[in-house]
Amino acid sequence: MLKFHKEGAKIIFITCAVVVAIVLLSDVFIKDNFWLLKFVQIVSLLFLILVLQFFRNPKRFTDVHDSKIIAPVDGKVVVIEEVFEPEYFKDKRLMVSIFMSPINVHVTRYAMNGIVKYSKYHPGKYLVAWHPKASEENERTSVVLENSTFGEILYRQIAGALARRIVNYAKEGMQVVQGEDAGFIKFGSRVDLYLPLGTEINVKLNQKAVGGITVIATKN
């Protein structure tokens, strides 16, 4: 059974109402132009389908394990590199970045078990998500999780050119479970993971990641 994320409830309801109104009104006001009538109705229904698929929330069965870090979102791995993380760690970390297109599932899931040590929202710009400065200038949230296996890791939800709202459920002091719902980013974005140097990475550039399933990194 297809499920939808709770963050989409209002938008889905409004979209359904608008589409129904368009279909009914077009049948009254442009009924004499068959092709225009069908065009308007079909486009309206396609728009509804796009909204529904964007807010879909498929059930994922995560193999929960303290020695694994899983993909927090669906998308494509676009960056694997050593970088300086200036907000929290203020030192070098291994960054893995996953880009989400508008057709990806946009649920954010906790990448590992642990305690939320830090959670902060930053207002900002709406540069395209792959822009080099997006991680520092776009609207974003930064969340740090800690457990005994990996120590501290940081994941950052970053808004893109279309995204206009980031939802983050992580609160400092929370005990979280790997794979559970951590938030949502509406309409296109990316998530960056900052891992300790020396972490064994299990993905490659341009690989498709599945949130809650794909193993990003492991530690023996």
Tell me the C-alpha distance between 158 and 80, whole Å.
17
- Phi and psi at residue 219, in whole multiples of 5°? -145, 130
H or E element at residue 198: none
Distances (CA, A) of 68 to 27, 37, 110, 130, 150: 55, 53, 12, 26, 9
Residue 26, pLDDT score = 87
DSSP character at residue 10: H
Looking at residue 202, what is its pLDDT? 95
How long a stretch of residues is the chain?
220
List, for residues 96-111, the tens digit of each pLDDT value. 999 988 788 888 999 9
End-to-end CA distance of the chain: 37
Q: What pLDDT, on a 0 to 100 scale, did the predictor assign at position 131? A: 58
The amino acid occupying position 121 is Y
Q: Report DSSP letters for 85-112, one per residue.
A: ETTTT-EEEEEEEEEE-TTS--EEE-SS
State the catalytic residue, choosing from 44, 97, 142, 189.
Answer: 189
Instruction: Provide the whole-model pTM.
Output: 0.82
Per-domain residue ranges for the chain? 6-54, 68-218
Helix (H) or strand (E) holding 55: none
Catalytic annotation on 189?
yes
The residues of the chain scoring below 50 in pLDDT are none
Instruction: Answer whether 88's CB lies under 8 Å from 151's CB.
Output: no
Please give the CATH number for the structural domain made up of 68-218.
Answer: 2.70.70.10
